[in-house]
Amino acid sequence: MRRPQFILWVILFITVIAMIIVVPQTSIKFNLGPYKIDRTLHPRVISINAGPLRLYKDFRTRLGLDLSGGTHLVLEANMLGITSDDRDRAFASSVQVVERRVNLYGLAEPIVQQAKVGDSYRIIVEIPGVANIEEAVALVGRTAQLTFWEEASDSAKVATPSSYRDIYPVQTNLSGKNLKKANVSFDPNTGKPAVSLEFDQEGAQIFEQLTGRNIGKTIAIFLDQDLLSAPQVNEAIAGGQAVIQGDFTTQAAKQLSVALNAGALPVPLTVVEQRQIGATLGSESIQKSIIAGAIGLFIIGLFMVVNYGFLGLIADVALATYALVTFALFKTIPVTLTLAGIAGFILSVGMAVDANILIFERMKEEMRWGKDRLTALTLGFDRAFPSIRDSNISSLITCAILYWFGTGIVRGFAITLAVGIIVSLFSAITVTKTLLRLVYKH
């Protein structure tokens, strides 16, 4: 066991860092005689941009939808029209389409996740904030439209185009339903990545005419409102097979082919689950939870001191460290806090003292059996440890099961509880033991 002073410094260091991380945005203003303080504390942000070392980490508290207000959607992709080979590809495309659309709205931090459950392909969308929700939801569920457009004829050219649509005002008959699929291919000569397109019969004919009319010009491919690509036509292309070449990286080629497939393998999406939470409900809940947590902490603190006197006080200090470090961890990992997650945190505070109680009760017993204080301390910790370890592991097992079988809010609870339990093991054992050893030595 390393010297307790060293460990104490480590603990203090961790605590101070935790305090820095935890500080929310607050302004401090007060006048005291000749001293005047007026500062705003901001949450810390780490931003390092020095040569090869790039690091950006911000320590905001991430709030789940039930606290920030917003919409939670689960969309299910209807794969009936798609052969099973193409399904994964079609799904990847539809996820990309949904992402583009959600980002289009410029809403803060939307989350789009894939979820394949058995045979169902699902997309989970979370949009925090309440403005324009209905529009966003309507937009998100629509099937993607892939369209091909020609440049304006010389006489109709707009002098100062303000959007891509000005440059390419002429829509053609060619659309996503004519595109069978798009693939990443590699030029046989240069090995460079390119995107190959395959049209159906009708599409091949239209494409031949289209390319014939536009030799030397470019043709624009739009997915919904986004311009995907505007390749130059070098010759008329018959047969329905075309290749878009350019300075693609493999990654960029892949992205383009995925986007093109969204139009080629359109997947209708239905909303199977939708939850909308108003924002006022959320902020009230946060306030109430903070109050509840504070009151809970206070009562426990009191209980420990009443029952165990000085030992209890030390345990309270350890408990305060625990709360700080855990919350700092939530900000760092980061863990998205939901109301249930906060409840999990508060619950783990109640459970955090358990270890201390077991140790202290054991110490009382050992002293009753005649041991001196320092020995009772060591024995108390050692003998109580198996109980502490076993009981916390069983709680962690249930957290794991909750995480595995649960979704969204349930997982949030499982994570906060698990993080809380792990940190509580550290604080109850290491922190309390160190503090007590130092105290008893004097």
CB of 272 vs another protein, minimal distance in Å: 4
Closer residue to another protein, CB minimum distance, 117 or 215: 117
Task: Show the tokens assigned to 190.
Answer: 């240069």
Task: Show the tokens assigned to 406.
Answer: 């649960």
Closer residue to another protein, CB minimum distance, 41 or 295: 295
CB of 401 vs another protein, minimal distance in Å: 5
CB of 148 vs another protein, minimal distance in Å: 32
State the virtual CA torsion across 306, 307, 311, 312 in degrees, nearest 10: -60
Closer residue to another protein, CB minimum distance, 417 or 436: 417
Closer residue to another protein, CB minimum distance, 167 or 410: 410
What gap in Å lies between CA 198 and CA 211, rounded to an integer?
15
CB of 79 vs another protein, minimal distance in Å: 14
Closer residue to another protein, CB minimum distance, 10 or 393: 393
Which of these, 63, 72, 17, 94, lies nearest to 283 by C-alpha position? 63
What does each C-alpha distance from 400 to 387, 415, 419 come to in angstroms? 20, 9, 11
Closer residue to another protein, CB minimum distance, 233 or 339: 339
CB of 59 vs another protein, minimal distance in Å: 24
Closer residue to another protein, CB minimum distance, 164 or 403: 403
CB of 315 vs another protein, minimal distance in Å: 11
CB of 328 vs another protein, minimal distance in Å: 20
CB of 370 vs another protein, minimal distance in Å: 16
CB of 399 vs another protein, minimal distance in Å: 7
Closer residue to another protein, CB minimum distance, 199 or 327: 327
CB of 17 vs another protein, minimal distance in Å: 26
- Interface residue list for another protein (CB under 8 A): 66, 74, 76, 117, 120, 134, 137-138, 271-278, 280-281, 284-285, 288-289, 291-293, 295-297, 299-300, 303, 307, 339-340, 343, 346-347, 349-351, 353-354, 357-358, 361, 365, 383, 386-387, 390-395, 397-399, 401-402, 404-407, 409-410, 413-414, 417
Closer residue to another protein, CB minimum distance, 8 or 286: 286
Closer residue to another protein, CB minimum distance, 182 or 340: 340
